[in-house]
Structure 1
Amino acid sequence: MFVFNKSVTMDDPTTTLDAEAGASHTELDNKNGHSLHSKVLKRLETVPDIKRDTSGITTQYIATGIVNLGAFATGVCVAWSSSALPLYLTNTTILEEDFQAFNGTHSKIGVTPRGSWVVSLLCLGALFGAVPSGLISEHFGRKKTLLYLALPLLVSWILVASSPNVYGLYVGRFVGGVAVGAFSVSVPPYVEDIAESHLLPALANFYHVLFACGLLFGYIIGMVQNLSWLAVLCVTIPVAFFIAFIFLPESPAYLLSQGKSSEAKSALRYFRGIDNDVDGELKAIRETLRNFAKNRVTFKQLFTTKATVKALVVSFGLMIFQQLSGIYPVLFYSEMIFCSFANPLYDREATYIPSIILGFCLVSSTYFSTMFLKRMRRRVLLLCSFTGMALSLGSLAIYYQLKASNLSTSKTWIPVLALCIFVSVYAAGAGPIPWLMLREIFPPNVRRRATAITAGFHWFLAFGVTKLYQNLEKMVQAGWVLWNFAVICVIGTIFIYFFVPETKGRTLEEIQNELNGIHKRRAHRHVIQVETIAVASS
């Protein structure tokens, strides 16, 4: 992943993008005589510059929004099960068992074994999509890889909509999961390649914001209460992504790595606007690519240095506690969870209302988390986030125990409030920061492979927790499962306090030194220096 920010103001501000492109076009024909390169360059020039953006900022924001439609599609895939499973369990025989709602004394979240496979296979497919996608994008390009990911999503929703039995649902969810995992690894590098460094923190958070928006969209379309229409509405997202993204240029860094200097320059001009010269930035990209090629590492070499191993321990640990907190069971099964607690918004004709409220809280918290990330330290946010998650889950578990003992009223706001607080504090820290720290604790030459391994581990944990949640709920009842999630959040807080380094405002060298156990002493004034200064002044 490469991010470069050496934009230089042009000497002649009246020079237009078309004139520069024409000069590059002529130079290319004179030097190489390659008509093919000329055609590619001309095609890039016809890509509509967004309102003739002079600074490139608007273009970068809109391009980031377009590529993160992949994250939006990921959120829709996750939210689909919350809206669809109750319909399958009540209106069809595909999953064979009836949906069980609150029966007056004990809560049961009616997820059949087959239903839990329909949910969790998305995460298993994501595991197989996340690990190789980084290597695939290196060989085929960022843009091609992302564009082709729309195909498995399209196939997935067709299988989900038309399958006559549960096995078609299994295949459809697994295929869709492959695209989901690949998006989680392939979208951030493209954003980093096109973003200027002062915009990167805000643009990098687009993935989490659009993922949350996809969840909210998935919960909202649950209002249709029709399985076929639900799949049709979901399939519009990958189609919209393909149509919009096809007009954006390839990553400038990838083009330069393939020796396509002219195309790289045109692509970078597109993202930087007509007021900026890109020659200096292209030179920096070329130098970084050269250094990356010299220091390239294999997956095996990730475990050869102390700092990298410790960084992997930190990233793996954060993913463990993020996933074992129960966030994906809450998002996948939200409608059933709310129904099981018989909250005051529960209505058999409108079971989707609490889930929509939950999705809205997640979107708003994820959006405002950018401000927290700018102003607060990473460790403080993580500690506050996991503590808040533990408290909200603990309060929900207490409510469950009281209700099971008939010591609490059946319909209160506690489940809605507790889970809204849970997802809100998750979005403020535990959700985005583990992904953000991947860029901050790993050197550039190992970052891609470390990200691929960590993303694969993330989806493996998501699969395990989502699949086993139903078994745990049947074995020990939902209240004890909630207590288990709360205790894990407390342990995660302890792990963060003792093992996770602070990365905000620190250089990569300082972080690597801390991971290596090298503590730089503070510079202090020597007595002899003070005496010398005093003698000189006298």
Structure 2
Amino acid sequence: MDGLDEAKPLLAAEESAEDGSEQELYLDKVKNGKLYLATFAAVLGPLSFGFVLGYSSPAIPELLRISNPWLQLSKDEASWFGSIVTIGAALGGLVGGWVVDKIGRKLSLMLCSVPFIFGFTIIIAAQSHWMLYFGRILTGVASGVTSLVVPVYISEMAHERVRGTVGSCVQLMVVIGIMGAYMAGLVMDWRWLAIASSVPPTLMLVFMCFMPETPRFLLSQGKRREAVDALRFLRGPDAPVEWECARIEGASQNQGGTVSWSDLKDSTVYKPIVLGVLMMLFQQLTGINAIMFYAEIIFEDAHFEKSDVATVIVAAIQVVFTGGAALVMDKAGRKVLLILSGIIMCVSTTVFGVYFKLVSERHSNSSVVGVPTQTQDLVLAQSPADLTWLALSSMGLFIAGFAIGWGPTPWLVMSEIFPVRIRGWGSAICVLTNWSVAFIVTKTFQNLLDALTSAGTFWLFSGLCALNVVFTVFFVPETKGKTLEQIESHFRGNHPT
């Protein structure tokens, strides 16, 4: 008996090695052209999402000074116009979790283009504040559904050699959309900008008509012939797709068709949920919204004449480094990029805190009794000028750090870690967490500044960035090069070599 027990690990290792060689031979025959085409069609959704996020920045200044009293926004109303999207997105995340499992990934993507288009149409035709708000909520709902469905769709289509790269394109297209809205806002008024923003979701609706449903969802619905056809479309004519189809079927045999509360005892359910929720929590607690909040002020201190041009520069930094992350994601790995990202953000937020501390000390030292008020005001206005390089460099470093790791990776990992039977509502919990925390951080940021000062607030974010590095080192598994079934096996406690 002892001899048999000792032989089991050896047999398992041999089977794993054999499977690995088969996997490599199969992937060598795969053609990725149509997979990239399907990915492009899907990521038009995140591009639309990016236009939604970027729309408020150029539109709000116009709506603040518009002559029409029915449309003119106060500062408080403008704040809600910008932030109400997050409420709609949180709702969209919940709706998306149900829809994606009921009607499938492809149809969910096609349907979510509708609130994008209707939302922008309502903004274009707006004659009152409530129409502006309602349009923003609709586009927020569409954004929430998109942020859930697109990563799931791409991860279930892609194979392990390119899943990191194509999965990272989700965040890349978001930041391209933000930059596109900023650039279009330089030459368009708010109504024409809304028209331009409705183009990407319209294209997504058209293109997705010609794309397949994901093979894993089709197999979960018992549609094997359609799954084989989808794999043949995605892998090319030379790949023996029956082998991949059988592998997916074999891995999913032990999964039930429905989910109940008792499933929370299953390690392949509760471990991914906890991991996904914590990653979304840490993403928002890095302070990304705080940095973006201060961006315009910092550029004004740097004597940029046009702050709207400065926002385009910020968005361009995000695009460049997010694109870089997409290119190296399948080579460097998710974990390495998360750790590097967390360290960079920890350092940059620390420096940011030092900047605000030095500025506040200089302000207090400049407030000398007997100095004329106008002279004091001049000193206060000019004193940070020689420290602007510190603020600019730390802001650029932070945005680059966020873009290479904690920007795209949580969304990618979310799409990889859930078993197919809970992928919809598991992702919904993650999306709801992300958008809820985003709203809380945005709305309480001013309270943090009042309680801790600017320096203290950024040092708090620095500490949280350090904490997410520790979290990554000890709790985030590396998913590079693994099939979705192998990742599920990891959470079950099996670690195939």
User: What interval of TM-score do these two structures reach, taking the shorter chain for normalisation?
Assistant: 0.7 to 0.9
Contact 2:65-2:72 within 8 A present in 1 as well: no
1:234 is displaced (CA, Å) by 0.9
1:61 equivalent in structure 2: 36
1:510 is displaced (CA, Å) by 7.4
CA distance in 1, matches of 2:116, 2:30: 35
* Structure 1 segment 104-115 matched on structure 2, within 5 A: 112-115=75-78
Residue number among 95, 105, 117 corresponding to 1:154 in the alignment: 117
Note the residue ranges of structure 2 that are not aligned, 5 or more in a row: 1-21, 364-379
* Structure 1 segment 521-532 matched on structure 2, within 5 A: none
Note the residue ranges of structure 1 that are not aligned, 5 or more in a row: 10-53, 98-111, 523-538
- The amino acid across from 2:325 in the alignment is S
Residue number among 143, 162, 165 corresponding to 1:180 in the alignment: 143
3-state DSSP of counterpart to 1:293: coil
3-state DSSP of counterpart to 1:198: coil
- The amino acid across from 1:320 in the alignment is L
Contact 2:284-2:438 within 8 A present in 1 as well: yes
1:465 equivalent in structure 2: 441
* Structure 1 segment 20-59 matched on structure 2, within 5 A: 56-59=31-34
Return closer, same or farther for 1:226/1:478 CA change in 2, 3 Å cut-off: farther
Percent of paired sites with the same residue: 29
1:275 is displaced (CA, Å) by 2.4
1:86 equivalent in structure 2: 61
Residue number among 227, 233, 240 corresponding to 2:203 in the alignment: 240
- The amino acid across from 2:164 in the alignment is P
CA distance in 2, matches of 1:197, 1:433: 15
Return closer, same or farther for 1:504/1:318 CA change in 2, 3 Å cut-off: same
Greater fraction helix: 2
2:321 equivalent in structure 1: 365
1:171 equivalent in structure 2: 134
- The amino acid across from 1:430 in the alignment is W
1:297 equivalent in structure 2: 259
Q: Does 1:271 align with 2:234?
A: yes
CA distance in 2, matches of 1:376, 1:339: 35
Contact 1:8-1:277 within 8 A present in 2 as well: no
Contact 2:268-2:488 within 8 A present in 1 as well: no
Q: 1:216-258 deviations in whole A, cap 9, x for unaligned?
A: 2122112125111211111111112112222223333434444
1:7 is displaced (CA, Å) by 10
1:365 is displaced (CA, Å) by 0.9
Residue number among 319, 322, 330 corresponding to 2:283 in the alignment: 322
1:346 equivalent in structure 2: 304
- The amino acid across from 1:398 in the alignment is V
1:424 equivalent in structure 2: 400
1:464 is displaced (CA, Å) by 1.4
TM-score where L is the length of structure 2: 0.79
TM-score where L is the length of structure 1: 0.74
**What is the Cα-based RMSD across aligned positions, in Å?**
3.3
CA distance in 2, matches of 1:250, 1:311: 24
Return closer, same or farther for 1:241/1:509 CA change in 2, 3 Å cut-off: closer
Contact 2:280-2:410 within 8 A present in 1 as well: yes
CA distance in 2, matches of 1:394, 1:414: 11
Contact 2:92-2:142 within 8 A present in 1 as well: yes
- The amino acid across from 1:314 in the alignment is L
2:491 equivalent in structure 1: 512
- The count of aligned residue pairs is 449
3-state DSSP of counterpart to 1:408: helix
1:498 is displaced (CA, Å) by 4.8
Q: 1:453-491 deviations in whole A, cap 9, x for unaligned?
A: 112111111121123335545676655543433333233
Q: Does 1:395 align with 2:358?
A: no
Residue number among 59, 72, 82 corresponding to 1:119 in the alignment: 82
- The amino acid across from 2:35 in the alignment is Q
- The amino acid across from 2:353 in the alignment is A
CA distance in 1, matches of 2:196, 2:391: 29
Larger Rg: 1
- The amino acid across from 1:205 in the alignment is S
1:511 is displaced (CA, Å) by 4.0
1:314 is displaced (CA, Å) by 3.1
Q: 1:117-143 deviations in whole A, cap 9, x for unaligned?
A: 222221111111112323312222222
- The amino acid across from 1:389 in the alignment is M
Return closer, same or farther for 1:509/1:160 CA change in 2, 3 Å cut-off: closer
CA distance in 1, matches of 2:247, 2:424: 19
Contact 2:50-2:175 within 8 A present in 1 as well: yes
2:8 equivalent in structure 1: none
